[in-house]
Every structure is written in structure tokens, then in C-alpha cells.
């Protein structure tokens, strides 16, 4: 049964990679760039910088800063969970001997922390301002699709990461008592003239 699930996991990647190879070279190059660890993480980090510093009034800024802190917290939790899920999944499937010869084999599934982190951030921001959330989710989605196309990730890994990220981000975004500890942190940053 485990072997069947894993085979399905890997076959899905074959399908996506075959689609990718039919694309024009320029599109492939752009997708390779987007899939890398620079473009989208940098864009997300810069968005956080703008949300932290960029409100028009002190109240606007405080709301944005709370969203940024919640987003970072959700991203850490979701990333950690995704790594744990990946490790558990690897432990579960590591005893299989048959897999080495499969087409599109890229090693054991890993749980996709990138998708978990990005979508956790996106889901948290969606609760604050859906436009900002949509931008983060769209950027992360593009990143993960590009990674799957380039064969860096299994598509189902990305799906697991996405589900984890959205659940964690949405749940952490709705916990109201978190405002208090986050407020303490913001007050400390305000004391340092950085919030």
C-alpha cells in the first residue's frame, strides 16, 4: 500500500515535468529563476519590511506590525510542522527498496516547508487585509508551481505543505489572546524607535 501511494506521488511529478519540457526555453528559464531560493523569498521578505514600517498612522502601523508578527510566528510553526511531517513520511517510506529505478525519482518526499511557510504567512495576512494575503498566496503559489515544474518538489509534497500552511496560518490568525504578547514585543520595538 505504501509503495502504491509513493508511486502515485512520483508519477504526478513525471506528469508535471513532461508538461514543463514542452514549454518554450525562455519560459523554462523564467520558471527556473522563480523556483530558486532567491526571487520569491526576497519578494516576501521585502513585503514584510514594507508592512512593518509603512503604515500611514501609528494605529495603521500597529495593526500591520501585529499581522507581520503573527505571520512570522505562523510561518515558523508551519515550517517546523512541515519538516516534521517530511521526516515522518521519510521514515515511513525509507524501508522500500524498489523505488530507486522509478522514473522521476527525486529522493524521499520532504513535506515542502517552503509551501507551508509561504501559505501560513499568506493565510495570516488574509485575515488582516485580503489584498496583502492574496499577493503573498499568489507569490507562494507561483513559487511552488515553478518548483514542481522544475522537478525540485513532488507536487503532492507541495499540496501537503499548502494545506498545513493554510490551516496553521488561519488558526494562529484567529487566536485573539496572542495580541497581548505581540503587543509587548511591539512596545519593546517602539521603545527602540523601530515600531
Partner 1 sequence: MEPWPGCAIIWAAATYRMCPMLDTTMSVLVYAALAFVAAVGALELAALRGGLEGLAWPLGLRRRRLVYLFASLMIALSLCGGMLAGFLIAPPSPLLSAAAILVAIGLAVVVVIVGAAVRLRWNRRHRLELQEGKPVEVGPLRATFYQPEGKGPVPGLCLLPDPTAPGDDLGRLIQTLMQDRVAVLLFDWQSLRNADRLTLQGLVAVGVSHLARWPEIDSKRVGLLGVGLGGDLALRGAAMDPGVAAVLAMEPVLSPRRPGMGLDGLGDFSWFEAGRRAHRWRRSKLARELEALGAIPCIPPRPVAVLTGYLEGSDSKDGLDILRMSIACSFAPAAHTVAVMRVADWFKEHLVW
Binding site for partner 1 (CB under 8 A): 32-33, 36-39, 41-42, 45-47, 49-50, 52-59, 61, 114, 189-191, 193-195
Q: How far is the CB of 118 from partner 1 (least distance, A)?
A: 12
Q: How far is the CB of 112 from partner 1 (least distance, A)?
A: 11
DSSP string for 74-116:
HHHHHHHHHHHHHHHHHHHHTT--GGGGSTT--SS----HHHH
Of the pair 64, 122, the CB lying nearest partner 1 is at 64
Nearer to partner 1, 50 or 87 (CB): 50
Q: Looking at beta carbons only, is 29 or 174 nearer to partner 1?
A: 29
In the complex, the smallest distance separating the C-beta of residue 19 from partner 1, rounded to whole angstroms, is 22
Could you tell me the smallest distance in angstroms from the CB atom of residue 162 to partner 1? Answer: 17
Q: How far is CA 149 from CA 2, 53, 87, 152, 174, in A?
A: 25, 35, 23, 8, 34
Report the distance separating Cα 186 and Cα 163, nearest Å. Answer: 30
**Which cell is 58 given?**
501609528
Amino acid at each position: 500500500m505504501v509503495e502504491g501511494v509513493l508511486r502515485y506521488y512520483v508519477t504526478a511529478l513525471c506528469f508535471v515535468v513532461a508538461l514543463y519540457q514542452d514549454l518554450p526555453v525562455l519560459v523554462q528559464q523564467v520558471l527556473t529563476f522563480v523556483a530558486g531560493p532567491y526571487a520569491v523569498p526576497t519578494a516576501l521578505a521585502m513585503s514584510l519590511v514594507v508592512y512593518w514600517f509603512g503604515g500611514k498612522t501609528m494605529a495603521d502601523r500597529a495593526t500591520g506590525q501585529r499581522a507581520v508578527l503573527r505571520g512570522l510566528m505562523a510561518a515558523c510553526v508551519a515550517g517546523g510542522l512541515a519538516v516534521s511531517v517530511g521526516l515522518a513520511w521519510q521514515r515511513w517510506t525509507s524501508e522500500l527498496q524498489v523505488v530507486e529505478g522509478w522514473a522521476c525519482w527525486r529522493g524521499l518526499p520532504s513535506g515542502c516547508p517552503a509551501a507551508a511557510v509561504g501559505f501560513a504567512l499568506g493565510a495570516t495576512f488574509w485575515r488582516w487585509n485580503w489584498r496583502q494575503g492574496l499577493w503573498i498566496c499568489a507569490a507562494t503559489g507561483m513559487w511552488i508551481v515553478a518548483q514542481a515544474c522544475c522537478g525540485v518538489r513532488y507536487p503532492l509534497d507541495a499540496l501537503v505543505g499548502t494545506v498545513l500552511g493554510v490551516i496553521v496560518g488561519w488558526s494562529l490568525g484567529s487566536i485573539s489572546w496572542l495580541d497581548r504578547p505581540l503587543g509587548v514585543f511591539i512596545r519593546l520595538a517602539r521603545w527602540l524607535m523601530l515600531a
